[in-house]
Structure 1
């Protein structure tokens, strides 16, 4: 019985290990406030406007000038 449960547990984890299958998006389905759905067609290869940026260009602005400093001159 324990071997059958172990096999069942292992088989249940296979979809999580493989991940979702790739699907090509052809349209965006946008729900509307009135209850309908608007479909916006998307062409493969369309990119958002602007220069191409990699993930390394996304960084926070931490200059440190907005911190409150302790007055240690006393």
Structure 2
């Protein structure tokens, strides 16, 4: 029984990683001022599609690194 609950908990904990980043819409940041007024700042949506899981974690590839020129 305990192992089943742990397995279920582990599976449910991985659901956000399996879904990936969700599309974010443009929103307004609203701040209350001391005089009772409201300050609204529009926050635009990020351009393009959301990043995939590879870009989010940061890929490390030898082909993207500059090689050291030992002749100098």
TM normalised by structure 2 equals 0.36
Q: Relative to total residues, which structure has the larger helix share, 1 or 2?
A: 2
Bigger RCO of structures 1 and 2 (CA < 8 A, at least 6 apart): 2
